[in-house]
Amino acid sequence: MTKKLSVISMILCFSFGCTQKKNDVTHKHTNALIHESSPYLLQHAHNPVNWEAWKPEVLERAQKEDKPLLISIGYASCHWCHVMEKECFEDEEVAQVMNERFINIKIDREERPDVDQIYMDAIQLISGHGGWPLNIVALPNGKPFWGATYVPKKNWIQSLEQLSKIYKEDRARVEEYANNLSQGVTAINLVENKEGQNLYSMDQLDAAVSQWSQYFDTFLGGYKRAPKFMMPNNWDFLLHYATATSHGEILEYVNTTLTRMAHGGIFDQVSGGFSRYSVDTKWHVPHFEKMLYDNGQLVSLYAKAYSVTKNELYREVVERTIDFVIEELKDEKGGFYSSLDADSLDENQILKEGAYYVWTENELKTLVGDDFPLFQDYYNINSYGLWEEGNYVLIRDKSAEEVSKKHNISPSELKTKMNLALEKLKKHRENRPKPRLDDKILASWNGLMLNGLVDAFRYLGDAQYLDLAIENALFIEQELMKEDHSLFRNHKNGGSSINAFLEDYATITEAYLNLYEVTFDEKWLNHAKNLLDYTKSHFLDNESKLFFFTSDEDLSLIRRSIETNDNVISASNSIMAKNLLKFHKLFPEEGYGDMAAQMLKNVQENFDKSAQSYANWLHLVLFESQNFYEIAIVGTNFKRIGTEIAGQYLPNSVLAGTAREGNLGLLENRYSEGKTLIYLCIEGACKLPVTSAEEVFKQIKVR
């Protein structure tokens, strides 16, 4: 009976999170990770492996004991990390080999992206590919000499025994390889300062986009491949490019992609929110983990696309995604948690990927009732929507108008019936064991979500989103910001730790500037500028003129990384370059514009080869090649008019406003008693003032 209760307790703990005291459950093994706050590290705290967290003193001990490091990197919602834990790290035979021969370090890649970047580059040099779990064997000084991702138990033991033997018996060869590999890891990250170059031109940009477009899947959206990852920065740039150049085909491709994603299984049709990627070409079956960083960026993207197209589907996606984030990822103080796991317990209490989200046909018939034939057609409970083992993932491939016409009902009646059916499904699903929550709060991911909320308010006009944005901005200010304008990386259980990285400064600077543009509260502008200036002082590389990923106040390992490639999250340097250019428009005397231009010159040679890997950088080409407007609003109605202008998609602009006189040079000497005047300026040279948003749009020639 006691054993049965213990199993039930563990199941509930896995599904809903443990709230009991540490002493309530007895564990055979406990290691040093029990003192950490990361949910991923805590998942491994009762492995028989003697795991340590990444700390300088652990590396020092490895050198004293002359043992190689075994570094295993993952994250809480990583499916294959769980698989390897079960097969290897929970196994006492494996643990004995690891404990006797290695100093074992577990790293949460979301807490320590600095370490993850270096070892990911190393494994890609070793094997040509990477992924998580990322397992590295390194010299006691941290220089790697072997790496692998998921490895089954038998192969893992064999590999570790061989590596331990060669480390002892042929040290010179191991050290030579590790030194050469470390030089390679450093070399691939070098960026040359290229003075005297011309900036990338519009003709070059047009050619790069044309080359890029060969990979577009114009029928299903995204790229012609599987799995399909959502790349918000790619489509964000293409939306900007399409509107800036009146390129109808590019805009159609963006709309196809956003519509297919919204209709696909990658978007949770029942409760909203996006999963990380789909395993197929049609956005159907997701890798079911839900990440804050995806959802924050996609809220921004869909809000902007709504402003351009007025497509109600995009508004609905924004609303439902934010609803999901509030319901599942919001901390009571206003911060946002990191993710929900892909795995959860099925009806047989077996851990399975997607168990929380999928449906059998019989379940759906019972729950939906008389409207099942309509639901079946709308969400493809057929061969198109079938996944595996009789389970369906809801997916649409027909418009509401097509389904309405086929079933001879009005679109409004169809929507009512489908919403009612989804409510039934949601209520039923809430009784299932939920996926685990990673409840650490990361600065950069909160910056992305804050940006999303601001854009949701900006383009949808719903004041509740501004309230949420301000609540989150205050959380960042109060819990993550230090007195010297530096930041903490993460927050958990009421405490903040780990010095922030460049991506934290970049995303929060961007979000605070965006928040200023919709509130005109100079507090947010001042915070953004202070963060920008702190970054200049502590992260800037004087040789490459780009920014290091780590501060000069932190220890470096092998190299101080410089991140330039835009991935699922934009490169921290590309975000910083955009920040610098926008701040140049508000503070032209600070030299920010020259810094942004030089950063662009130093990476632009890569645009021809792989435009999609530099999508966020490409905004700068449009900023520099086309008119970029400073819009100053001065007078009693500055907030109302500011909201009207902000709601128009104008990526090549920055807004400033005040009731009388502001501290910005752009706002000085512009007040006129009894009037609210709007000044449209380029590099400080302004047109004659106007009094309405419509007149501003005419000046810009907005269609």
DSSP line for 623-686: HHHS--EEEEEESTTHHHHHHHHHTS--SSEEEEEESS--SSGGGTT---TT--EEEEEETTEE
Angstrom distance (rounded) from CA 24 to CA 393: 38
- Give residue 24's pLDDT: 52
What average pLDDT does the segment 360-366 reach? 97
Check residue 577 and give left, alpha or beta (phi > 0: left; psi -120 to 50: alpha): alpha
State the amino acid at position 594 in one-letter form: D
User: Among positive and negative, which fits the CA dihedral 590, 594, 599, 604?
Assistant: positive
Mean model confidence pLDDT for the chain: 94
- Give residue 217's pLDDT: 98
Q: Which residues pair with 277 in a beta bridge?
A: 229, 287
- Give residue 556's pLDDT: 81
The residues near 656 (Cβ < 8 Å, ≥ 6 apart) are 517, 520, 586, 630, 631, 632, 633, 662, 664, 666, 667
Going by the DSSP 8-state scheme, the letter that residue 369 receives in this structure is G
Angle subtended at Cα 7 by Cα 3 and Cα 13, rounded to the nearest 5 degrees = 140
State the amino acid at position 82 in one-letter form: H
Confidence label for 25 from pLDDT (cuts 50, 70 and 90): low
Residue 266 structure tokens = 């990658």
Going by the DSSP 8-state scheme, the letter that residue 346 receives in this structure is -
Q: What contacts 24+ positions apart, CB below 8 Å, involve 476-479? A: 476/335, 476/443, 476/446, 476/447, 476/450, 476/508, 477/527, 479/333, 479/335, 479/441
Angstrom distance (rounded) from CA 617 to CA 570: 9
Helix H or strand E encompassing 582: helix 572-586
- Give residue 22's pLDDT: 40
- Give residue 497's pLDDT: 85
Q: What is the pLDDT of residues 125-172, one digit of tens each?
A: 999 999 999 999 999 999 999 999 999 999 999 999 999 999 999 999
Residue 400 structure tokens = 């509401």
Model confidence at 516: pLDDT above 80: yes
Model confidence at 1: pLDDT above 50: no
Model confidence at 275: pLDDT above 50: yes
Q: What is the pLDDT of residues 304-350, one digit of tens each?
A: 999 999 999 999 999 999 999 999 999 999 999 999 999 899 888 98
Model confidence at 17: pLDDT above 70: no
- Give residue 7's pLDDT: 34
What average pLDDT does the segment 73-85 reach? 91
Angstrom distance (rounded) from CA 207 to CA 626: 17
Helix H or strand E encompassing 7: helix 2-16
- Give residue 505's pLDDT: 98
Model confidence at 16: pLDDT above 80: no
Residue 300 structure tokens = 């921004």
Task: Give residue for tokens 């435009």.
Answer: 611
DSSP line for 400-453: HHHHHHHHT--HHHHHHHHHHHHHHHHHHHTTSPPPPEE--EEHHHHHHHHHHH
Model confidence at 355: pLDDT above 80: yes
- Give residue 65's pLDDT: 95
Across 188-192, 221-225, 456-460, 555-559, least confident range: 555-559
Residue 209 structure tokens = 């986009």
User: Among positive and negative, which fits the CA dihedral 299, 301, 305, 311?
Assistant: negative
- Give residue 587's pLDDT: 97
Determine if the pTM surpasses 0.85: yes
Give the rounded percent of residues in the chain with a pLDDT score beyond 90: 90
Helix H or strand E encompassing 147: strand 144-148
Shortest CA distance to 373 belongs to which of 401, 344, 414? 414
Q: What is the pLDDT of residues 166-210, one digit of tens each?
A: 999 999 999 999 999 999 999 999 999 998 889 999 999 999 999
- Give residue 4's pLDDT: 34
The answer to whether the beta carbons of residues 678 and 693 sit under 8 Å apart is yes
